[in-house]
Structure 1
């Protein structure tokens, strides 16, 4: 950012569960971990992102994927009302009666500062969660993602309590010359991940396997996105991301992107701490919400892929090399808010009405 203002929201962090147990009011700066803990202690749950150190509203105003989206939908689908400050300094409480409500659930960063949001919450369905992880060398790319496509995604019918994650990552102890595939399966409502999902991966021949049993509170530590894990630490690294949503895996494309990631991060050692993240979420709760009812345009996409290019600042040449690698791995046209003409027009009309001077146009901007 150049010539702009960043407003730090960390003190706007209360978590207030309603007396009837059906909603929670969350401050605009509240981080995921305190909200998860407060809800869990009260026997409640709702869709929240998978990383403990992100805010609720950072992901949520853009839609917001999460562990429980198969049950309840996206983070934004839980919004009941919100307090928002516009660029002129006026404070408003808005809900589904406002014409802006549609845009706030998918493009909300573009219209103001949300100081609090009230969200739907639910009784915890089951305390049990299970985890399994598998590490593979690069020669198994095709087999791993064929298994993921046929036995997990199941043509868009992945079970609502099953989530798959995987990484391309450099682990020299396993393979000093090539990147490694680490594949996770998380399943709710059970103490052991069903063999229907683990069996196809086990038969491929992983070089390492780990399993665990726990509760919802264990999910972030299992996939290394808790407050004490690397992604949540301030290590002085540049961290650039190049995300794209997909409906399903293309096995040949998986091979191509693996080869590019592995070769590039080994040829440029400064980038070898990078990770290619592949998240596979269930869609039942997401698709239960009519697509036209919110600005989020990707309700049919079960996969969120994101190269995370991590490196220590070393000058403009490395910055350019990192940016090129990220874009080469993604190779997609930006369509953050959908391509339908009615959607684009509605978004632009609301932008002109509520933020005509484009004060909120740094992050994921509308034209």
Structure 2
């Protein structure tokens, strides 16, 4: 981490708090420090100060556990505004952190105890190339903007599932998405990117750069990405279908045995099939315990093939729900549109405890379910919690060599994570939530028989480490450390899942 000039930062923080100005107008503080910065920024850049509604909105996070502390928000209007802000921060020895949708819940963010937020909200847009093979996507663009803009042009790209999350943020950690079975991870699609490095220079990188390898999987550690040129594809299948089957938790073992046999198929899940499942309280379906919902999604059909659904019908679900539509309906069907719960910022704590699995150990699933149910049922303070199991097709992801990028988990078939949701009530409750989340993860980990926990960095809690986030192989860690020393020797980009 960089050496911070504590007295300077403290004085600056006090000045910022005292100079809360209404930002319905695009005004800057006129103190000497920020006058210097403001004179170098574009006319479309903005600044938000503590005490204003704009500052509050720009700082509001999806999870409020160990949040970063910000003294001023700079809202770039151009890519060069990011350059000037980073240069200014370096000159004044001030920490800085790029924000987009603020859905990252990793607790390492709390290590930023003062500094500048670079809020990328104004850098939004999608420009399709004339040949229709690529699109340039600005750094602050949300996933919904990408999917809808491309769909209107008869195109699509690999994006994250949740509409309100940024396009680029998940990609820097690899990035899972609906179309990864066909094309690979979000980060696998990149052709080039504009990125502001730690020294304040804006560079355009592509696969010829030695840093390219690290940006797909560990990219949060190396710069502020201001735009990306990505592969896009013609829409081949306009039809999609889903079947949602809701079960009593008593069937946990038979359900996951069936998922193994009929969906995962030893890592050969069909390209056109996605399987998710949720453990969640639904009192109308089961007033006593959380239910298990099996979601089977299929591309290119108007009804999910019965060869996938019949084994689950045989287990006699409490209810069955089916939908037919198009690609843009997927977020609505699984509850991750911009108006659904996962996109709302309610002031809650939302730690996750991810682990990748190759297959389900049904005994471990039962043990984890029983612990989860015991702790979230009824009027528990954790009763809004959710356990997610994401089984995307991996064919496109595995089409690239495992050594091709810093993303280390191309052989893993299922991404799981308990989401322990609760309202803030002190460190004792935080510790209780962490103990529950880690115990649930350890149960599944024990079932794998592995010595390490592979953890998806975009879902990380923060109590893991570089070997869990970026792969435990010594060559991976050595390569990342070497690149970090070369491109960010002072550790300026070290608040989100730091390499060191």
Residue 314 of structure 1 aligns to a residue whose secondary structure is: coil
Q: 2:482 aligns with which of 339, 349, 361?
A: 349
Structure 1 position 90 matched with structure 2 position 201: yes
- Bigger relative contact order, structure 1 or 2 (CA pairs below 8 A, ≥6 apart): 1
State the TM-score, normalized to the length of structure 1. 0.98
Q: What is the CA distance between 1:86 and its match in structure 2? A: 1.3
Compared with structure 1, are the counterparts of its residues 301 and 338 closer, same or farther at alpha carbon in structure 2 (3 Å cutoff)?
same
Secondary structure at 2:298's aligned position in 1? strand
- Note if contact 2:125-2:145 (Cα within 8 Å) is conserved in structure 1: no
1:221 aligns with one of 316, 332, 337: 332
Q: Which residue of 2 aligns with 1:263?
A: 374
Equivalent position of 2:217 in the other structure:
106
What corresponds to 1:3 in structure 2? 113
Q: Which piece of structure 1 moves more, 249-258 or 169-178?
A: 169-178
What is the CA deviation profile of residues 233-258 of structure 1, one whole-angstrom value per residue up to 9, with x for unaligned ones? 12221111111111111111110110
1:204-257 alpha-carbon deviations (Å, 9 max, x no partner): 010010001000000000000111110011222111111111111111111011
Residues 228-267 of structure 1 mapped to structure 2, 5 A cutoff: 228-266=339-377
Cα distance in 1 for partners of 2:281, 2:436 equals 16
Partner Cα distance (2:169, 2:441) in 1: 22
* Residue-by-residue CA offset, 1:79-103 (whole Å, 9 max, x unaligned): 0000111122111110001000000
Find out whether 1:36 has 2:147 as its counterpart.
yes
The runs of 5 or more residues in structure 2 that have no matched partner are 1-109, 446-452, 454-463
Q: How does 1:66-81 map to 2 (within 5 A)?
A: 66-81=177-192
Match of 2:169 in 1: 58
Equivalents in 2 of 1:42, 1:290: separation in Å?
32
| Residues in 2 aligned to 1:134 and 1:25: alpha-carbon distance in whole angstroms | 39
Q: Which has the larger radius of gyration?
A: 2
Give the secondary structure class of the aligned counterpart of 2:242.
Answer: strand
Partner of 2:59: none
Spell out, residue by residue over 1:237-281, the C-alpha distance to the aligned partner (whole angstroms, 9 max, x if none).
111111111111111111011011110113771110000000001
Greater strand share, structure number:
1
Q: How far, CA to CA, are the matches of 2:216 and 2:320 in structure 1? A: 39
Which consecutive unaligned segments of at least 5 residues does structure 1 have?
none
For 2:400 and 2:480, locate their aligned partners in 1 and report how far apart those are by CA, in whole Å. 19
Query: How many residues end up aligned between the 2 structures?
Result: 367
| TM-score of the two chains, using structure 2 as the length reference | 0.72
| Cross-structure match for 2:399 | 288
